[in-house]
Amino acid sequence: MGENTNKEVEKQVKKAQKQARKQQMKEASRRPLRWDKLDNTALIFPVIAGEGMTNTYRISVELNEEIQPALLQEALNIILPKFNVFNVRLRMGIFWYYFEENNKSAPTVTEEELFPCRYIQSNKNNSYLFSVSYYKRRINLEVFHVLTDGMGGINFLRELTYQYLRLAHPELKEKVEDKLSDVTSLNVEDSFEKNYKKTTKKRGYMNDRAYLIKQKKLEKGEFGVMHGLINLPELKAVTKKRGVSINEYLVAMFAWATYVQCLHKTPSKLPIRIAVPVNLRPYFNSNTTKNFFTMVAAEFFPTEEEYTFEQVLEIIQKSLKSQIQKDNLEELFSMGVSNRNNKFLRMVPLMLKNIVMRLVYNQSALSYTTTITNIGSAQIDPVYEPYVKLFRAFIAMSKGQSLKGTISSYKDTLVFTFSSIFSDTSVQKEFFRKIAEDGVTVQIETNGVYYE
């Protein structure tokens, strides 16, 4: 009986989806297709992306109930047309890539079976640059970074979750309207262009080599994920006592774990350099759903004999504080925008631009030991909180960086997630062991690759 009911629901959903898309395509045929430029950060991603370096990230939400796939598909069908940043396909122009409105059916929601953060083949995904999957109680959103950063991803996933919960729990419609939340932004401005200041400086990628972690790798195609669920009030107490921010503490902890487990507390000829993306929205009063971040470098160069964790923490804190200032951040992204707006470069054919950008990227890719990104705290409307348990996020590998970290939080739990293609987990273990040594409760979860 239950199986027949599910099949009937699926039939109804597919019928409604087909009718909605027919209407949408009919309306679209009466007007020119919407198109848009890529933001300044997004320009590099189509050039370097492929099976070996996917440039995708995942944000997932764990609910307190099993996911009903037919309703999740229906929720996606409903909200996708409302988000211009996601409702696009990527086109190749003469001089630049660009986005064009996508009138195809929404991507098919699938049950997760493969390893995460795989390359999104748009031609097999109705030309879309994101995917939605589920596993038991978890909804996964994977996004090709060309569309948006973590803030834009959370924006979309939150509304997808709200819509799903309203479908799964009709009683919610008596408490909230069946529409997008008032706090959800649909802004699609290019905040790089809006806020940059003209500069004569030319931004080049960093070319100074960094220490690279080299360990035995997993089998080809495997992808290891290790989540550390950290008690946030306890972590805040520790960082307050030490006089540092949570970000500074966790970045320093990665540098420490690498120093201990990889360099064995000995001097190095190359620095441990960590790329730290900075969300620019708070500094420039932006609520864009496009990419709007720039990268700073936290550096620890162990040139002397043995360092203590306190010394490493102080070095990392000074390194980050000196760079995360509005004037410096403005200069960093303004140089990139100025390069793109150069009249001569604008007229260079895209094929030649791609060759040059790929060469420059490959030269600079070995300048960082890792990347640690903080997507912030997920804020959920109180009416939905009883249904939502946790958020997690992580990013794909890139050249020279086979171990990365992502920070996300919800309520009293901060999740630090390691994504890796290494079979060795010594850095991860040292990282969480040292945090626990500071008196912070840590619970470890993995995706099954690591059984230790």
pLDDT at residue number 363? 81
Using alpha carbons, list the distances in angstroms from residue 109 to 21, 67, 85. 16, 11, 19
Tokens representing residue 391 in the block: 């958020």
For residue 112, give the nearest of 139, 85, 92 by alpha carbon.
139
For residue 118, give the nearest of 58, 208, 38, 42 by alpha carbon.
58
**What order do you get walking across the sheet with 413-420 strand by strand?**
293-300, 272-279, 370-377, 403-410, 413-420, 224-231, 442-446
H helical segments located in 65-216: 69-79, 150-168, 191-195
Residue 285 has φ and ψ, to the nearest 5°, of 50, 50
pLDDT at residue number 203? 53
pLDDT at residue number 69? 97
Residue 392 reports pLDDT greater than 90: yes
Residue 410 reports pLDDT greater than 90: yes
Residue 16 reports pLDDT greater than 60: no
Helix (H, G, I), strand (E, B) or coil at 27: helix
What's the distance, Cα to Cα, between the start and end of the chain in Å? 42
**Confidence tier at 1 by pLDDT (50, 70, 90):** very low
Q: Could you tell me the pTM of the whole model? A: 0.91
CA angle 142–143–144, rounded 5-degree value: 135
Q: Tens of pLDDT along 346-387?
A: 788 889 988 988 988 888 889 999 999 999 999 999 999 999
Tokens representing residue 413 in the block: 């739990």
Q: Tens of pLDDT along 172-228?
A: 988 998 999 999 999 999 999 999 887 656 555 567 899 999 999 999 989 999 999
Helices 309-323, 326-341: axis angle to 10 degrees equals 60
In the Cβ-directed half-sphere of 217, how many Cα atoms lie within 13 Å? 13
Residue 13 has φ and ψ, to the nearest 5°, of -65, -45
Number of H helices, E strands in the chain: 13, 15
User: Are the beta carbons of 88 and 129 closer than 8 angstroms?
Assistant: yes
Tell me the C-alpha distance between 79 and 127, whole Å. Answer: 17
Please give the full DSSP string across 438-449, using - where no structure is assigned.
Answer: TT--EEEEE-SS
User: Are the beta carbons of 415 and 390 closer than 8 angstroms?
Assistant: yes
Tell me the C-alpha distance between 206 and 113, whole Å. Answer: 38
**Confidence tier at 105 by pLDDT (50, 70, 90):** very high
Tell me the C-alpha distance between 297 and 277, whole Å. Answer: 9
Average per-residue pLDDT for the chain: 91
DSSP state for residue 411 in the 8-state scheme: T
Please give the full DSSP string across 374-399, using - where no structure is assigned.
Answer: EEEEPP--TTTGGGEEEEEEEE--BT
Residue 343 reports pLDDT greater than 80: no
Tell me the C-alpha distance between 272 and 210, whole Å. Answer: 6
CA angle 398–403–407, rounded 5-degree value: 100
Tokens representing residue 205 in the block: 């990628």
CA angle 343–291–95, rounded 5-degree value: 30
